[in-house]
């Protein structure tokens, strides 16, 4: 009996061991698979986080770049004063308002048109022969006659003719109460200045009968003593010199014919 009981116990022990080994054998692959899955998940999550960080960095870079672009101001729009040279003389082609020396109308009052033509030639880089200048001045006069304007026109209308004749590649603006320094800065930027003036004040020995009541000319440069101009009121007007005081005191608009009391205004044209 004892021997039989001992055999049963031995069988049970081996059976339990076998059962435990079987369970362990069956459970281990599942555990290993779960462990491998967990490791893969963690690795995938880390990789995803790194990817998000890289994307975030790119977004930050793009955002920074966009901000820089937005606040970046073009140099040509910064109103920093230009360091002035002692003298400037722009290469503005010259024409008399009477290209063929005929001073009858409309040539007697074609100074505004001549000034516009000189600006156009300067910016577009062509020369002015007497025959070409005559034809172009007549085109402007004809355009003005269609509007029933008189021979003499205020600077606001000079601007309208300039816009029509020169085209939309330029900006045009009238500057009130111009200063010597302001005109110099404009010239230093490469832009001639169209001036309307009370001609009786202009000190020009080439004028007859004390000079015109109303006159237009181009300031093309300056030196230490005054302005260098293209004055279309005389065939000798190329690079004609006026002192600062004389020219500045002469600047007056048409003012309905009362030029002496007209506003001090000039026209500035700039390439866009």
Same domain, 83 and 168: yes
CATH number at residue 244: 3.90.70.10
Same domain, 20 and 136: no
Contacts of 224 (CB under 8 A, 6+ apart): 86, 87
Q: What is the pLDDT of residue 19?
A: 60
Average pLDDT, the chain: 82
Q: Looking at the predicted structure, is the pLDDT value of residue 10 above 70?
A: no
Residue of 89 and 6 predicted with greater confidence: 89
Structure confidence by residue, pLDDT tens digits, 56-110: 333 333 333 333 222 333 333 346 788 999 999 999 999 999 999 999 999 999 9
Tokens of 72: 């970046």
Alpha-carbon span 226 to 204, nearest angstrom: 14
Q: What is the pLDDT of residue 213?
A: 97
Number of compact structural domains in the chain: 2
Same domain, 156 and 246: yes
Give the residue from 41, 72, 103 where a domain finishes: 72
Q: Looking at the predicted structure, is the pLDDT value of residue 222 above 60?
A: yes
Tokens of 42: 């963690």
pTM: 0.71
Same domain, 212 and 261: yes
Same domain, 127 and 157: yes
Same domain, 214 and 140: yes
Give the residue from 46, 72, 98 where a domain finishes: 72
Same domain, 144 and 259: yes
Structure confidence by residue, pLDDT tens digits, 58-70: 333 333 333 322 2
Same domain, 1 and 131: no
For 65-69, 113-117, 139-143, 167-171, which range has the lowest pLDDT when averaged over its residues? 65-69
Give the residue from 72, 91, 122 where a domain finishes: 72
Average pLDDT over residues 168-196: 98
Tokens of 133: 């200048």
Same domain, 42 and 97: no
Same domain, 217 and 198: yes
Q: What is the pLDDT of residue 51?
A: 38
Same domain, 174 and 139: yes
Structure confidence by residue, pLDDT tens digits, 243-267: 999 999 999 999 999 999 999 999 9
Q: Looking at the predicted structure, is the pLDDT value of residue 22 above 80?
A: no
Same domain, 60 and 3: yes
Q: What domain range includes position 4?
A: 1-72
Q: What is the largest CA-CA distance in the chain?
A: 161
């Amino acid at each position: 009996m004892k021997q039989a009981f001992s055999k049963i116990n031995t069988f049970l022990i081996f059976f339990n061991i076998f059962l435990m080994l079987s369970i362990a054998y069956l459970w281990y692959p599942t555990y290993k698979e779960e462990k491998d899955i967990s490791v893969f998940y963690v690795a995938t999550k880390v990789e995803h986080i790194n990817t998000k960080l890289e994307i975030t960095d790119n977004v930050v870079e793009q955002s920074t770049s966009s901000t820089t672009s937005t606040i970046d101001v073009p140099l040509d729009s910064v109103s920093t004063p230009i360091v002035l040279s002692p003298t400037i003389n722009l290469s503005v082609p010259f024409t008399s308002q009477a290209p063929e020396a005929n001073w009858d109308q409309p040539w007697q009052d074609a100074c505004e048109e001549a000034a516009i033509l000189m600006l156009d030639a300067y910016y577009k880089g062509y020369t002015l022969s007497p025959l070409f200048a005559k034809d172009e001045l007549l085109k402007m006069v004809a355009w003005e006659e269609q509007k029933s304007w008189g021979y003499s026109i205020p600077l606001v209308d000079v601007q309208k003719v300039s816009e029509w004749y020169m085209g939309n590649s330029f900006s045009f603006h009238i500057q009130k109460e111009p200063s010597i320094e302001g005109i110099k800065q404009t010239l230093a930027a490469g832009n001639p200045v169209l001036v309307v003036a009370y001609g009786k004040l202009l000190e020009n020995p080439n004028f007859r009968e004390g000079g015109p009541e109303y006159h237009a000319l181009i300031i093309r440069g300056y030196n230490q003593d005054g302005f260098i101009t293209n004055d279309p009121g005389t065939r000798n007007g190329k690079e004609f010199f006026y002192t600062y005081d004389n020219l500045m005191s002469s600047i007056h608009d048409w003012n309905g014919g009362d030029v002496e009391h007209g506003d001090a205004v000039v026209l500035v044209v700039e390439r866009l």
